[in-house]
Amino acid sequence: MSEKAGQKKLVEAITPMEEDFAKWYTDIVKKAELMDYSSVRGCMVIQPYGFAIWENIQAILDARFKELGHENVSMPLFIPESLLQKEKDHVEGFAPEVAWVTHGGEETLQERLCVRPTSETLFCDYYSRVIHSYRDLPKLYNQWCSVVRWEKTTRPFLRSVEFHWQEGHTMHETAQEAKAETEQMLKVYADFCENELAIPVVKGQKTEKEQFAGAEATYTIEAMMHDGKALQSGTSHYFGDGFARAFDITFQDRNNQSAYPHQTSWGMSTRIIGGIIMTHGDNDGLVLPPAIAPIQVIVLPIAQHKPGVLEKARELQERLKKTFRVRIDDSDQSPGWKFAQYEMKGVPLRLEIGPKDIEKGQCVLVRRHDREKIFVPLDQLEQAITEQLACVRQGIYEKAFSRRQEMTYTATTMDELKEIADNKPGLVKAMWCGELACEEAIREQAGLTSRCMPFEQETIADTCVCCGKPAKSMVYWGKAY
């Protein structure tokens, strides 16, 4: 329910996003029971409802990975310091975030163990032992796990010391194959975000300053949140043969010559749950895309004390659970409380059934994102739910896309860029010469970082927004999580 429409809010516990966006976000993750704080600094307890969202994300992505030939593996939690040190740029990039194990029981370890912040070095160590011939390639591996990065400032889902993710690590015979893999996996993430999560994204390449430690190229999908900030939602990296050389991974090629394989990695994490909240949520709570909602339809019996109502509601639940994720709330809470509770949890569709509905052989479906009510004959219910879930997905995507369009600006001078940065939350498209000095100047003077050089390039001007020299790329700039 919208306060703007003059309706009374049923959930008073959520701080309006217009008042305090950070507090609004924290209220939602707590009140919707997605997570709770733990006794370990920066680490969270992901509660059943929050983990169910992650499990649904995992199931969809895992199926897509396997369709493309990837296999799941499991690597160790710990990395010996000597192994981490093998790739110079990589270790320097992660050094500030590494957690170290120095003792085993009462004994000091002869060599420190790093708690994995990412697993490139572990995969490379393994690949060095199992790749011998071009016939051993490609290696298309993925793992689902948690990693640790010792963040100074943490926020639930968006930035935590420990987080869950998947990390793909592949090895290829040629650079061309590895680059194709890198681009393919970015497309998988983009398609997943847009079609399943209803989050519009910008696909592009990171600048050299922003690319992954040790990578030759990093590709990203960037999404815009309600407050205009960007969220890096998935990344794919091309490493060339740099790690292979560092770890002495060689194979006999088709000409019987020794060669180095070419490597990729790519990942998406529980951070995307924060992205779902901040893209689709409103002042009444979550708004979940149907594809990953733990409950797609909540069945609510109305006047359930009257004869036949509970029985009919339970009958509908049994019938529908063959096709959808359905739950019934037959508790003694009031209908108004239940409406607010499942709106808070972002359930895409509410199914109401009462005595008059039973008489007419119908029920009422209510969409979460726009509160539209649809009266549906019971013999057409499955088809109607399928159609309405599609409407929810389309509706929230269009709303997010329109918001991004309205909050994306262009700048041709540094003064314009700073004025937008100071007064208009959102993304800014501006030309760049490619020089690190200008990228750093934009960050220092306007408080904006480069989000990506989009694949779909535009020519806004011929010169760099910062220095006035000939421009090489159009870049999306913004403030980010």
| 191 and 67 belong to one structural domain | yes
The pLDDT assigned to 121 comes to 93
Last residue of a domain, one of 280, 309, 325: 280
| 220 and 248 belong to one structural domain | yes
Give the predicted TM-score (pTM) of the model: 0.94
| 373 and 452 belong to one structural domain | no
Establish if 6 belongs to a structural domain. Answer: no
How many residues comprise the chain? 481
Establish if 173 belongs to a structural domain. Answer: yes
Model pLDDT for residues 59-71, shown as the tens digit of each residue: 999 999 999 999 9
| 241 and 327 belong to one structural domain | no
Domain of 309 in residue numbering reads as 297-388
pLDDT band at 320 (very low <50, low <70, confident <90, very high): very high
Establish if 351 belongs to a structural domain. Answer: yes
The pLDDT assigned to 4 comes to 41
Among 49-53, 86-90, 293-297, 410-414, which is the least confidently predicted range?
Answer: 86-90
| 146 and 234 belong to one structural domain | yes
| 261 and 370 belong to one structural domain | no
* Residues near 166 by beta carbon (within 8 Å), at least 6 away in sequence: 58, 61, 62, 65, 142, 143, 144, 145, 267, 268, 269
Establish if 233 belongs to a structural domain. Answer: yes
Q: Which of 12, 300, 434, 367 lies closest to 442, judged by CA?
A: 434
Establish if 465 belongs to a structural domain. Answer: yes
| 61 and 203 belong to one structural domain | yes
| 234 and 317 belong to one structural domain | no
**Cβ(329)–Cβ(304) below 8 Å:** no
| 243 and 346 belong to one structural domain | no
Model pLDDT for residues 465-475, shown as the tens digit of each residue: 999 999 999 99
In whole angstroms, give the CA distance from residue 374 to residue 388: 9
Model pLDDT for residues 44-55, shown as the tens digit of each residue: 999 999 999 999
Last residue of a domain, one of 388, 421, 446: 388
| 230 and 129 belong to one structural domain | yes
Q: How many domains does the chain have?
A: 3
Please give the single-letter amino acid code of residue 271: R
Establish if 286 belongs to a structural domain. Answer: no
Residue 472 belongs to domain with CATH number:
3.30.110.30
Residue 69 belongs to domain with CATH number:
3.30.930.10
Last residue of a domain, one of 214, 247, 280: 280
| 142 and 213 belong to one structural domain | yes
| 263 and 337 belong to one structural domain | no
Residue 366 belongs to domain with CATH number:
3.40.50.800
Establish if 10 belongs to a structural domain. Answer: no
Phi, psi of 411 (to 5 degrees): -140, 140
Given a cut of 60, whether residue 140 has pLDDT beyond it is yes
The pLDDT assigned to 2 comes to 38
